[in-house]
Amino acid sequence: MSPAEDYKSRLQRYGRETERLQKRSDWLAMARLAAFAGGLVLLAVLLSFSIIAAVVTFSVALALFAWLVIKYETTEKSRKRYLHLAEINRLELKCLEGDFSGFKTGEEYVERDHPYSYDLDIFGKASLFQYICRTTSSPASDRLAEYLKQPSMREEILLRQEAVAELQPLTDWRQEMMTLGHMNDGAGNNPALLNLWLGSEDLFMKTSRERIISGCLSLIAVAAVIAVITGLPAAVLAPVFGVNFIFYFTRFRKISKLQEQVSRSSDILKAYSAIIGMIESRSFTSPLLQKLQSAFRDEIAASERIRHLSKLVSRLDYRLNVLVSAPLNLLFFTDIHFCLALERWKREHASRIPGWFASMAEFEALASLANMAFNNPGWVYPRVTEDYFAFRAEEMGHPLIPEGRRITNSFAAEGAGKAIIVTGSNMSGKSTFLRTCGVNAVLAFAGAPVCASAFTVSLVRLHSSMRISDSLEENISSFYAELRRLRAIISGAETDPKVFLLLDEILRGTNSDDRYTGSVALIKQLTGYGAVAMVATHDLRLAGLEQELPQSIENYHFDVKVNDEELFFDYRLNPGICSSFNASLLMKKMGIKV
């Protein structure tokens, strides 16, 4: 089946199962209400005949009620699972149609001064990150963002390609992992507070007398309660509970501080434990996946240890229920014992948590790339080479343009110290083509498949100057902002010329003569360093550099066709210089007399 057919089939299947479980859930809700109400009615009726019969009947009704409650909760959990699975497939179907607004935007990773991510729409609404991201945990989102922010080493890229290819057909496994993250409230929260606690100083374990004193006071309290039950006056309890209250109160601030550090981490830990459990239980063949999986191997599974921590955190949160916590703490100091248990866990396992979370994050990030690969079976895994410079693409398109509207182009450039000049009329596709080259290079450097039928690219630094704006906060104009950007590009190329530059309308903030003079000087300087630049421009004079520098300049263009004063764009890249422009016609259509 095609991805669309697969998702439709899953959506229908999970939708039917959700409806079935909803009906069962409704029936169980009514049944448990009937069991409890019926038990009360029978208790009232039978009390007048036989107390024993009334108590036995009511006990049976309560047992039935408890069983129905358990069945209801189990059914609801299963229903929510299928509901999440159905939603995942509904969103994937929309994604195939070009609407991926239902996924994380990655707004928090937007950097205006990043070498290329802002220009290429890597993060933010309708971005590459939003198109790819299927992570449910913050560490995984951070890791995926790192993939897209900077090129990896070639060896790491090859390992990721192999890992992504193995995960690509595992749709059930990938969607189940997403569902586990979504089903636990708070699963997407940042575990920063938990990490701070893991690295903090112990509040209870550093003094050995806590356990001894609390244990002795508990024994005395239990003995006093037993003594009162057996006949001693209740006044005996007053001094015992008074001492216990003072002991607990003097530790109340430390207990609250520890709870503040770990509170609300239970759901996060529950989700992480479930996801890691899925990773532990599957066999993998690719070296990278095996290496990541090995981080969880121990005498006791990492998922079990994290689940135990989640339970300890949940138990400490019981103190928020005063009716339960007050008597338990006066008798047994449960809060102190939970704090001791948490710090004991921290001493034994805190050093392993960063490795566990990092491996889990890597798995989720790779699964996101695999999901993109599954959605686009026609895309290819690129060849990434250390040789400088090579960029060869066949039928290359922009990944974020739906397949039905996507126009692809083949393009090749080889050799250092080159400038590819792309001319064309307004809206003909120059800027989109530059972004197409850049975005596919970003995917290649992340270890993902690219939107092409064949693709080879040199492992280089990517730098762009395409979307320049002024800044009121820094009190700088757009022209000065562009000059700063170009200065950074020149400095980088001078230091390390192995760079691929994407430049759109250089020096657009000045007059045409200055722009031409500055653009020529910049191109000569960059090619002189040995850098490779792709330059989109309206200025045909730049294309004339090919006569002066035939070994360094290559000209391409996008054309426009006019039929009865109507414009037609085919968005096809052609060699040579553009000879047709459309600004006058567009102005006429806007009512400007030209």
Q: Are 577 and 557 in contact (CB under 8 A)?
A: yes
Between CA 348 and CA 308 the distance in angstroms is 13
511 against 447, higher pLDDT: 447
Q: Which tens digits make up the pLDDT trace of 150-191? A: 999 999 999 999 999 999 999 999 999 999 888 765 655 667
Cross-strand partners of 560: 569
What confidence score (pLDDT) does residue 120 get? 95
Between CA 4 and CA 23 the distance in angstroms is 29
User: Residue 132, SS3?
Assistant: helix
Q: Which pLDDT band, with edges at 50, 70 and 90, does 593 fall under?
A: low
Between CA 86 and CA 98 the distance in angstroms is 19
Q: Which two tokens stand for residue 519?
A: 């653009």
**Is the whole model's pTM more than 0.95, yes or no?**
no
Please give the share of the chain, as a percent, with pLDDT higher than 90.
53
Span 506-527, mean pLDDT? 85
553 against 181, higher pLDDT: 553
Span 405-410, mean pLDDT? 94
Average pLDDT, the chain: 88
Q: Are 389 and 500 in contact (CB under 8 A)?
A: yes
Whether the per-residue pLDDT at 588 is higher than 70: the answer is no
Cross-strand partners of 418: 532
What confidence score (pLDDT) does residue 584 get? 60
Q: Which two tokens stand for residue 196?
A: 């701070």
User: How distant, in Å, are the alpha carbons of 135, 229, 273, 482 from that of 281?
Assistant: 20, 52, 12, 52
Helices (H), 190-236: 192-198, 209-229
For 443-477, the three-class secondary structure string (H helix, E strand, C coil) is: HHHHCCCECCCEEEEECCEEEEECCCCCECCCCEC
298 against 144, higher pLDDT: 144
What confidence score (pLDDT) does residue 473 get? 42
Q: What is the rounded (10 degree) CA torsion for 38, 43, 45, 48? A: 180
Between CA 449 and CA 382 the distance in angstroms is 6
Whether the per-residue pLDDT at 397 is higher than 70: the answer is yes
89 against 190, higher pLDDT: 89
At 447, give phi and psi (nearest 5°): 95, 15
Query: Which residues make Cβ contacts (< 8 Å) with residue 309, sequence separation at least 6?
Result: 269, 342, 345, 349
Q: Are 310 and 273 in contact (CB under 8 A)?
A: yes
Closest to 421 (Cα-Cα) out of 538, 247, 319, 518? 538
What confidence score (pLDDT) does residue 565 get? 63
Q: Which residue has the tokens 């709870």?
A: 259
Q: Which of 146-150, 169-173, 450-454, 494-498 has the lowest mean pLDDT?
A: 494-498
Q: Which tens digits make up the pLDDT trace of 565-587? A: 666 788 899 999 877 666 565 55
Q: Are 422 and 430 in contact (CB under 8 A)?
A: yes
At 434, give phi and psi (nearest 5°): -60, -45
Between CA 278 and CA 282 the distance in angstroms is 7
Span 386-392, mean pLDDT? 94
User: How distant, in Å, are the alpha carbons of 335, 337, 340, 353 from that of 345?
Assistant: 15, 12, 9, 11
Q: Which of 229-238, 311-320, 562-571 has the lowest mean pLDDT?
A: 562-571
What confidence score (pLDDT) does residue 65 get? 92
